[in-house]
Amino acid sequence: MRYPAVFFDSFQLEHNARLILALCQRRGIKCSSVTKGIGADERIVAAWYRAGFRDFADSRLQNLAEIRRTYGRDVSLMLLRLPAASEAHDVVRLCDVSLNSELETIRLLGQAARQLKHPHEIILMTDLGDLREGLLPEHLLDAVREIVNIPAIKLAGIGVNYTCYGGVLPSVDSYKELTHLVHQAEALTEYPLQLVSGGNSSSLPLILGSGNLGRVNHLRIGEALLLGRETAFGENIPGLYTKAFILEAEVVELQCKPTLPRGEAGRDAFGGVPLFEDRGFRIRAVLALGKQDAVVEQLLPEAEGADILGASSDHLIVDVTDAPPVKVGDTMRFELRYGALLHLMTSSYVVKYERSDPLLCRHLALAAQV
């Protein structure tokens, strides 16, 4: 077996997908499963497909192309990242819908759609405070007036983003503002907008609660499917599996060393100035994994008493003085947060192994029959 390796349980991921779909459907919410966090791994996409997902979303056209090759027109594909002008033809060819905020790009999509004789739907993004993509509310309606006159482009909806840049949380008041914008836009389109996309996994606390969602009827869900957590407050969602992914990395050195470096200190390999606490001599395991592979701050050692000291490009240093004994050649296991998972699953240097739980498989099969 090769390391470093991520082990994932496709049956746990299928269970998470079934439950998320059910929870959202109770509130009249349609979900697109976001595949960018796992590089659109075909085994995980298949698990979500078995669970009932037919709408998939990703920021990378390469990932969407793989899903299209596998499932054809049986699925609907959404491009999450704003299209680049150079991608217009590929976006129209591969995607059913894309998120947009720039009129010039939308015009190019319209040209491509006419040339390919394939109409394209867009969700126009508005910025309600998170300050990533999207038109400010006061500019939204002017854009709608332009879009309705672009041939081969259909304005399918209005969308908003939360928590990805500014950390701004979705709220009932924000959804009320979004709903007001939708009503104003519909007065210009003269047809009802199909999708009002109200954010990502950070919106799940609102969905799971009883607050007024206004016109919001769509979410783009990734982390909750993968790690069983909502992203507004980082809380686990009851009933979801939170350890469907486990990282294992191999110990390549085990030495007792001082905790304070010796010599004049400069910058580290990434330009930072490291700080150290003098804790005397400690037993340190050096693992064959580094910052090139993962966001090491988002790795959580399973071994009680183990403490990550730091990392370079290719080496992870873990204090194992107070942890169960390990030796060179052993592996250590880590739970993952989203940033670490994203890097690991999209790294060609990390092996991905599927593990399955036959008892859970039977449980899912029985649940599907009820």
Integer Cα distance of 267 and 274 in angstroms: 7
CA–CA distance from 6 to each of 286, 289, 305 (Å)?
A: 18, 12, 22
36 an active-site residue?
yes
Alpha carbon distance 28, 171 (integer Å):
18
**What is the C-alpha to C-alpha distance for residues 85 and 98, in angstroms, rounded to an integer?**
13
The residue count for the chain = 370
Active-site residue, selected from the candidate residues 30, 36, 176, 327: 36
Beta strands in the chain (DSSP E): 5-9, 30-34, 55-58, 76-79, 97-100, 120-126, 153-160, 195-197, 218-221, 245-258, 281-287, 299-301, 307-311, 316-319, 331-336, 351-355
Structure tokens at 130: 């998170």
Cis amide linkage into residue 137, ω under 30° from 0 = no
Element containing residue 180 per DSSP (H, E): helix 172-189
- Provide the annotated active-site residues: 36
